[in-house]
Amino acid sequence: MIDFYTAGTGNGRRPALMLEECGVAYTTHKLDLMKGEGRSPEFLKINPIGAIPAIVDHDGGKDVAIAQSGAILLYLAEKTGKFLPKDAATKAAHLQWMLFALTDIAPTSSAIFYSSTKLKDQAAQTFFEERLLGFLGHADQRLGQSDYLAGEYGLADMALYPVYDGRRALVEAKGGMADLKRWADAVGSRPAVKRAMAVV
């Protein structure tokens, strides 16, 4: 059994996709970040940074606590043997596109949020919106060549989908990106993804 600590953000939803896709038994603990629940002494024992998501895996006789959505995805892939191929070249493609989603796309989406809600800086918001659309344009080009980011459905798609879903209106307003939208429809229609997106 896994305890899953999360909140309603792209980062918070990402591990839910993997948990559902892998069929791993888990219990969800939703933290109210606005009330400071991420800074509680109990949660800081799990993740000293105080950020979601985090999991505690109770299988195997020793509790394993893991934070950071990408680390959780990789841990679950290794644990279950699913969604990350063994072949070195294919695995590298999955990791490349997963990290693109985690290190380029997701932080830019977060910057839009902070620019608009915390800083209330329209120029910064516009800059990051255009930057995000540029990144998503690269994903769209890739998806014009392949059904999924790394060829077959896997970690990369689970890394990107919650961000896309949160910025769907921005993409719709921009127009174009038909292959990205086709991909999003395919990912979003998966039963495990539907369940995961409803968890948080």
Contact between 98 and 169 under an 8 Å Cβ cutoff? The reply is: no
Tell me the domains of the chain and their CATH numbers.
Answer: 2-82 (3.40.30.10), 88-195 (1.20.1050.10)
d(CA 54, CA 45): 11
Residue 34 is predicted with a pLDDT of: 87
Residue 78 is predicted with a pLDDT of: 95
Taking the chain (200 residues) in runs of 10, the rounded mean pLDDT of each run is 95 96 97 92 95 94 94 97 95 97 97 92 96 98 98 97 97 96 98 94
Residue 60 is predicted with a pLDDT of: 78
Residue 118 is predicted with a pLDDT of: 86
Residue 200 is predicted with a pLDDT of: 78
Residue 61 is predicted with a pLDDT of: 82
d(CA 39, CA 145): 44
